[in-house]
């Protein structure tokens, strides 16, 4: 069974049951659903749900509180390996609230100052490095980088370079969130290190637009020319996917979704299904097609992680 290691943070998600409306006033107290989510965790969930014979390992830290224990139970329920989900005695899981408007666009409020995931590097030792390096793929994101406390970033990059030297295939999704960085320059410096190390990079054009002022796939490709990516997969929302492999360019049109309810996890679900498909040996067109369909399905549902039965029914229709 192929092993995919994913480094990141899972948070407690609070979501209002109804969308924000400009015409209907909000009543209080309002109903809230509580669940668990995070960009890298979402990627792991959709990878495993789509390809049950792959084994994703989540690398993170949580607390010893009841909600952290329930979070780990959720990972187990989703069949995500928790061997490297460490327990902090001092900190707890982070929390965020999400609301969507009538067209599915999101707004977030975060409480992650005491998140145990910030200290994940304190749990990484030589034994952990050797275990992870034996896997088939290691994935991390721009949010993974932002969460790690600045004092531990040098240790993180040493960890990543050790994995690369030991033969691990490294995958990076920039997933830029401005509020998580002190300033854009700090993010650029960390992303530069990631671009140097990554074998596969999965940027969204919106990430590059916010951080670098780059607005087209062609310009993203030019920006990435100094780096040695095996695969560069550029996501442009519902417009298209552009892929560059071995100096060849591939352009895929994406069928637009009419009934967008919640765009949360569109990129995460694409990442999970795409990486799983490539690990399974799917060719490029097959992987892009399935990943795009999965993202299109996810954004027609509320929340980062779609109800399992509904997603499995969707996957069954794809003959996986």
User: Which of 136, 152, 268, 283 is an active site residue?
Assistant: 268
**DSSP labels for 16-33?**
ESS---SSSPPPSSPPEE
Residue of 300, 270, 311, 268 lying closest to 287 (CA atoms): 270
C-alpha to C-alpha distance for 56 and 171, rounded to whole angstroms = 14
Q: Encoding tokens for residue 125?
A: 């030792």
CB atoms within 10 A of CB 83: 10
The sign of the dihedral angle between the CA atoms of 153, 154, 159, 162 is positive
Q: Could you give the CA distance from residue 60 to residue 155 in angstroms, rounded to a whole number?
A: 15
Q: Could you give the CA distance from residue 15 to residue 122 in angstroms, rounded to a whole number?
A: 31
Q: Reduced to 3 states, what is the DSSP secondary structure of residue 187?
A: helix
- Strand 106-111 to strand 231-236: parallel, antiparallel, or no bridges (unpaired)? unpaired
- Examine the residue annotation and report whether 268 is marked as an active-site residue of this protein: yes
Distance CA 318, CA 320 (A): 6
Catalytic residues: 268
């Amino acid at each position: 069974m192929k092993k995919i290691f994913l480094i990141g943070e899972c948070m407690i998600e609070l979501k209002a049951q109804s969308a924000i409306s400009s015409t209907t006033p909000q009543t209080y107290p309002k109903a809230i659903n509580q669940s668990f989510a995070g960009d890298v965790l979402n990627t792991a969930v959709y990878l495993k749900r789509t390809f049950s014979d792959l084994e994703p390992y989540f690398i993170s830290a949580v607390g010893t509180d009841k909600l952290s224990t329930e979070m780990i139970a959720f990972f187990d329920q989703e069949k995500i390996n928790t061997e490297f989900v460490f327990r902090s005695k001092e900190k707890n899981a982070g929390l965020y609230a999400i609301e969507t408007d009538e067209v599915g666009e999101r707004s977030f409020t975060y409480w992650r100052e005491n998140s145990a995931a910030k200290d994940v590097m304190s749990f990484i030792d030589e034994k952990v490095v050797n275990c992870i390096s034996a896997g088939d793929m290691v994935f991390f994101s721009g949010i993974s980088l932002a969460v790690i406390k600045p004092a531990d970033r040098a240790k993180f990059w040493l960890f990543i370079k050790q994995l690369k030297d030991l033969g691990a295939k490294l995958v990076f999704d920039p997933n830029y969130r401005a509020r998580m960085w002190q300033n854009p320059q700090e993010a650029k410096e960390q992303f530069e290190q990631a671009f140097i190390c990554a074998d596969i990079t999965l940027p969204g054009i919106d990430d590059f637009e916010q951080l670098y002022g780059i607005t087209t796939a062609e310009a993203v490709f030019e920006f990435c020319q100094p780096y040695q990516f095996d695969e560069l997969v550029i996501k442009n929302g519902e417009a298209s996917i552009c892929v560059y492999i071995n100096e060849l360019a591939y352009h895929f049109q994406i069928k637009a979704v009419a009934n967008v309810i919640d765009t949360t996890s569109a990129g995460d679900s694409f990442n999970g299904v795409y990486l799983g498909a490539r690990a399974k040996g799917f060719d490029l067109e097959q992987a892009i097609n399935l990943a795009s369909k999965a993202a299109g399905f996810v954004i027609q549902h509320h929340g980062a992680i779609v109800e399992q039965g509904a997603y499995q029914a969707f996957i069954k229709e794809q003959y996986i």
